[in-house]
Amino acid sequence: MKKILASVILCFMVPEAMAQVSHLSGSSQPLSGSVVYSLPRTAIKLKVEVVKESYVEGPYASYAQKYLSINVPRRAASSYTIESISMMPVQESDPSQAFMLNIGSTKNASANFLAFSSEGLILPIGYQSGDFGQARFSNPPADVMSFFDMNSEPNFVNESAVFYNTVKTDTGFVRVPVERAQLVEKNTEKKAEEVANTIFNLRKKRIELITGEADNIPSGDGLRAALEEIQRLEEEYLSLFIGKTYSGMETCYFDVIPAAGQNKQSYIAFRFSETQGVLPSGNVAGRPIILELQSEKNAQSVDTGGASKTAQIFYRVPQIVQALLMDGQKVLIQDRIPVLQLGQTLSIPADALMR
C-alpha cells in the first residue's frame, strides 16, 4: 500500500493546479477538459465444460429383439455430464462509481491519469479485463450419425403377381388370370432380417479364423487385418439395430457480480440438467449451482457521494473472500479470491497531491 500511495503522490505533484473531483450520477455530464474515471469492481466468471452424448436410434431398432435378442433404446436422446468448472475473477469498471477529475492547469493530466490507473485502483470507463472466451457448442458431424446399409443382398426382389385380362368368347366376356413377374422393394423387416443374418455370418467367419477351421487362413498381419475388418463390419451392421452415440464438448460462460456492502451473499450461478445440459439461472428445468461468498473481514469505506469541499481521489482496495461453488451438498470449487467492491473505498486529498 505504501508503494501505491507513493505512486499516486508522484503522479499528481504538479504545481499551480487546483484539483476538483465530483461523483458523476446518471444525469450529470462531465465538463470539458476533465478526466472521467471509474472505481474498479470484480466480476466472477465461471467457465463450465460439459460432455454431451447424443444417441440416435438405428433404422432397424424395432427388430433388434426379434432377430438379435437385444434390447435397445427406442428414441433419440442426449445426456450431459460436467467435465470441469473453473472460476476466474476479472476486473471491470463499476458504472455506479464514476468520478470526474478536473486537474485545472496541469499540463500532464493524461500521463498522470494513466500512471494512476496502471495501479489498478481506478479504471477508465467501460474497461474490462480477463480472457472471456466464447461459448462453444458442438454438433455431431452428419456422416458420423448417418447409417449405411452395406448388405450385399439386393434391395429389390422378383415377385409373381396375378393379373386378370378380360377375353371375349362366344358366350360373352370372361376374366383370364395371367401371372407376371415384377420387381418389388423389400420391406423394412425383410432388410433387418438379412442384416441380422449377415452379422451372424461375420461372427461365424471370425470364429473359423480364430480356431483355424477356415480355408486359406492368412498369417501374421494378414490375419490381424482380417479380424479387424470383420469387427468393423459387425459394428457398422449392429449400429443399424442399436443406434449410434456421439460425444462432444460444450463450453459455457457465466458471470456473477457480487453486490457491494454485503459480507455474506449467495447466487444461483447457473443451472444444470443431465438431459438439457447447462442452463441459465432463471431456467428451473435444471438444479441450481450455488455460488456462496463470505468476506474474511468487514470492510470500512469513506463516503463517495457528491462533491466534497476538499477534492478527493477515490480508489478501491480489494477484499479477500471465501468462494464456494456448490451442487447441492457437493463442493465443486473452494477458493480465496479478491473482490474489489467488497473491500475498502479510500481517498487521497487531491490538493495535497498537487503542490
Claim to verify: residue 101 and residue 6 sit in the same structural domain:
yes
C-alpha angle 337-341-342 in degrees, rounded to nearest 5: 65
**Interval 148-193: pLDDT, tens:** 666 666 666 656 666 677 777 767 777 767 677 666 777 888 888 8
- Average pLDDT value for residue range 236-247: 89
Contact 85, 48 (CB under 8 A): yes
Claim to verify: residue 179 and residue 225 sit in the same structural domain:
yes
pLDDT at 256: 93
CA–CA separation, 311 vs 313, rounded Å?
A: 7
CA–CA separation, 23 vs 38, rounded Å?
A: 10
pTM to 2 decimal places: 0.69
Smallest CA-to-CA distance from 11 within 86, 113, 151, 146 is with 113
- Average pLDDT value for residue range 130-135: 66
For residue 259, give every residue at least 6 positions away whose Cβ sits within 8 Å of its Cβ, in sequence order, or none. Answer: 265, 341
Contact 258, 342 (CB under 8 A): yes
Structural domain includes residue 253? yes
* End position of a domain, from candidates 207, 242, 277: 242
CA–CA separation, 247 vs 259, rounded Å?
A: 39
Structural domain includes residue 150? no
Contact 88, 3 (CB under 8 A): no
Mean pLDDT for the chain overall: 78
CA–CA separation, 165 vs 183, rounded Å?
A: 21
Q: Which of 34-43, 91-100, 295-304 is least confident? A: 295-304
Q: Which helix (H) or strand (E) holds 42?
A: strand 35-56
Claim to verify: residue 344 and residue 251 sit in the same structural domain:
yes
pLDDT at 3: 41
Give the residue with greater pLDDT, 219 vs 341. Answer: 341
Q: How many domains does the chain have?
A: 2
Q: Where are the beta strands (DSSP E) in 237-306?
A: 244-256, 264-273, 277-279, 287-295
Claim to verify: residue 238 and residue 167 sit in the same structural domain:
yes
Claim to verify: residue 32 and residue 116 sit in the same structural domain:
yes
> What is the DSSP code string of 82-130?
EEEEEEEEEEEEEEEEEEEEE-TT-TTHHHHHHHHHTTTSSB-TT-B-S
* End position of a domain, from candidates 224, 242, 260: 242
Claim to verify: residue 92 and residue 12 sit in the same structural domain:
yes
Q: What are phi and psi of 231, to 5 degrees?
A: -60, -45
**Interval 39-60: pLDDT, tens:** 889 999 999 999 998 888 888 9
* End position of a domain, from candidates 199, 219, 242: 242
Claim to verify: residue 105 and residue 10 sit in the same structural domain:
yes
pLDDT at 329: 92
Claim to verify: residue 6 and residue 123 sit in the same structural domain:
yes
Contact 103, 19 (CB under 8 A): yes
Claim to verify: residue 176 and residue 294 sit in the same structural domain:
no
Claim to verify: residue 235 and residue 294 sit in the same structural domain:
no
Domain residue limits at 279: 2-143+247-353
Structural domain includes residue 149? no
Structural domain includes residue 151? no
Structural domain includes residue 181? yes
Claim to verify: residue 85 and residue 222 sit in the same structural domain:
no
Give the residue with greater pLDDT, 181 vs 218. Answer: 218
Q: Which of 15-19, 47-51, 52-56, 255-259 is least confident? A: 15-19
Structural domain includes residue 280? yes
Structural domain includes residue 33? yes
Structural domain includes residue 302? yes
Claim to verify: residue 15 and residue 120 sit in the same structural domain:
yes
CA–CA separation, 239 vs 247, rounded Å?
A: 16
